[in-house]
Amino acid sequence: MTATNPNRRYLRILIVTTVYSSVLVGSLWAAYQLRFDFHIPAVDWKYFPRHLLHVVPIQLAFLLFVGQCAGLLSYFSLPDLRRLFCGLAIPSAALFTWGYFDNSNRLPSDCVLLSQFVLAFGGLCTSRLFFRVARERLLSPGGKRRQQCRRIGIIGAGDVGAALVRDLLSKRGLGMYPVAFFDDNKNKWRSRVHNVPVLGGPEMLADPRFSLYMDEVVIAMPSASAKRMKEVVTLLQRGNRRFTTVPSLDQLASGKVRASRLRPVEIEDLLGREPITLDKTNIEECLQDKVVLVTGAGGSIGSELCRQIALFNPGKLLLLDQSEVQLFLIEQELIERGYARLISPLVGDIVDEFRMRQIFQEYAPDVVFHAAAHKHVPLMEEQPAEAIKNNTMGTALLARLAQEYGVERFVMISTDKAINPTSVMGATKRLAELYVQSLHASAPERTRFMAVRFGNVLGSSGSVIPTFKRQIAAGGPVKVTHPDMTRYFMTIPEAVSLVLQSGALGSGGEIFVLDMGKPIKILDLAKQLIELCGLKAGEDIEIEYVGLRPGEKLYEELQHEGENLAPTNHPKILRFISEPLPLSWLCDQFSQMQSCLHVSKPGHLKTIMQGIVPEYKPFLKSVTEAPDRLQEIASRQTRTAKQPRCLVEVPA
């Protein structure tokens, strides 16, 4: 701290005290004038200096006590108004009481005291408002010339729209001046919000002739349905208007983001769904004061799991990831949110049994959310050994350790690609599902194992939306697999909320499937993204069809044959129950598969997986090595190299 800072503080207090003293003296003088109709008798006027010395210092002392003299004159809000009222009302009441028992003429009459209180309160409020207006409209950057600000219309005259106008009017440095509201509620038409008129419905903006010289439109409807949001965006695009939107409802509710923090409309706003309702009591019972382990904590799903789990006050939140870069990012985010005491970041690979065992021994987790996985479909097609090792063997190892160390609940994050899989990624996830089901059936009274399936999540790393955005930024073309390809999409917060709910609902052995709504055409998704960038598909940005890649489906499915569908207590969560495979047989199959992971060609590994998952339809190249030749290679390499430790064993 420099030496000049205390001097500036004292100077500020001196200025505030001088302004307040002037207002208090002036208000007492005006009260005298009003009491005697502006003709004060000399016999009464001689007492004015004495009254001044007894009244004003007491009021100043109370204002100083409530912190008003240390504030900035140009910042005035409702809390300041309350403190100002208390700082004047308390000494005025004390002076009234003193005057009632004192007849020495040291205090003015009750009438003068009451008038002075009213005048002083009004005068101080007026002076503070004057300095605030001067700061906002004259001294702030961009505040001197309204004509230099961008004129904006606001769709949504509710609480968020009103907060936005208040921010824009108070922060002229943002360079935006609100000129009109538009709202679906007809009862608000022809009214005013913060002196800004509500002209009518958003449909008025579809007419380019109706401009009001607006440079931009802000959509202030964070709670609107995705359908209505899409309609409004279409209206604005039809009228060739620039538009942005306010932050999401969750961000506004947290209090960390103001309504004036505008952002472009994202595809998530158009594809998002109605807010979900959670049974937080069940989730709290599952997580509160518990040690919770999240694997893959740095990924899209894992990081959101950490954010939401932290809200339920776990005893300890363990963040496990093999990537220290991603782990560092989520660790710093949670520290900034105030969860430093809860979290323990752990670097480790889920296939490293010694590291995993050490973590289970040291921290004794009560609940495990297993989100670590290789998920990129085309990449895993070319290297199935890595997908098997991570998605299947890693899950099996974690599940076995969870049962061994008495974990209460083990929730595995699965995928809709595990349903009648055509990809290595889907098949390895299905193998993991089968293992956790069989493990639970072997000892149902111990750890509760369950899996949760859902489709694509909007904006996750490696997903189609970031890829499309990069292609649009590069000028195209946007590469679409097939014009008829569809996928189910969910937002990351929605998917994770339902995962937590599933984990609380599960009794063990179930596979939960989340209600993913209606499938969306990838082609429509690409067109909407292009339009949100202010461009036209087929004119500014070309769309190119590249065909299905190995392992990809044209449509995703919802259910295996032989799985029985059952409802749950939550309308957006379904439960699938099927007959588990014998654990000993499954472990034998896994051991055989692991023994040839790195000595077999991809086609042979896919064939082995198909033997365990008959519904798997692998993509096989036209030329493959014969199985007997592969076995010969495996035998020869086994004799010359030490076999890795098997990650899958039948639990004792």
3-class state of residue 293 by DSSP: strand
CB contact at 8 A, 118 and 85: no
Query: Which residues touch 103 (CB under 8 Å, ≥6 apart)?
Result: none
Please measure the distance between the N-terminal and C-terminal CA atoms of the chain and give it in whole angstroms.
65
- Give 397-426 as a DSSP string: HHHHHHHHTT-SEEEEE--GGGSS--SHHH
Report d(CA 212, CA 167) in Å as an integer.
Answer: 21
Single out the catalytic residue among 290, 375, 417, 553: 417
* Planar angle of CA 412, 590, 359, nearest 5 degrees: 50
Phi then psi for 386, rounded to 5 degrees?
Answer: -70, -40
Look-up of token digits 């369950």: 450
From CA 247, how far away is CA 264, in angstroms rounded? 9
Active-site annotation holds for 417: yes
Answer whether the bond into residue 222 is a cis peptide, omega within 30°.
no
Alpha helices by DSSP H, 291-376: 300-310, 324-336, 353-363
Q: Please give the structure tokens belonging to residue 290.
A: 């518990």
| Tokens 């996750």 found at | 460
Cα–Cα–Cα angle for 462, 464, 465, rounded to 5 degrees: 105
Q: Are 74 and 135 in contact (CB under 8 A)?
A: yes
CA distance 372 to 295: 5
CA distance 144 to 173: 10
Give kind and range of the element (H or E) at residue 197. Answer: strand 196-200
Question: What's CA 103's distance to the chain center, in Å?
Answer: 66
* Closest by CA position to 205, among listed 178, 180, 187, 186: 180
Q: State the Cα–Cα distance between residues 331 and 63, nearest whole angstrom.
A: 44
Q: How many residues does the chain have?
A: 652
Burial class (CB in 10 A: 0-12, 13-18, 19+), 270: buried
Pairing status of strand 573-577 against strand 456-457:
unpaired
Show Cβ contacts of residue 401 under 8 Å, excluding neighbours closer than 6 positions. 353, 356, 357, 360
Chain centroid to Cα 613, Å, comes to 37
Residue 414 and residue 616: Cα distance in Å, rounded? 16
The answer to whether 449 and 441 have CB atoms below 8 angstroms apart is no
Using CA of residue 186, residue 192, residue 194, residue 196, what is the dihedral sign? positive
DSSP 213-272: T-SEEEE--TTS-HHHHHHHHHHHHHTT--EEEPPPHHHHHHTSS-TT--BPPPHHHHH-
Bridge partners of 343, per DSSP, are 317
Q: Is the dihedral of CA 635, 600, 610, 512 positive or negative?
A: positive
| Positions marked catalytic | 417
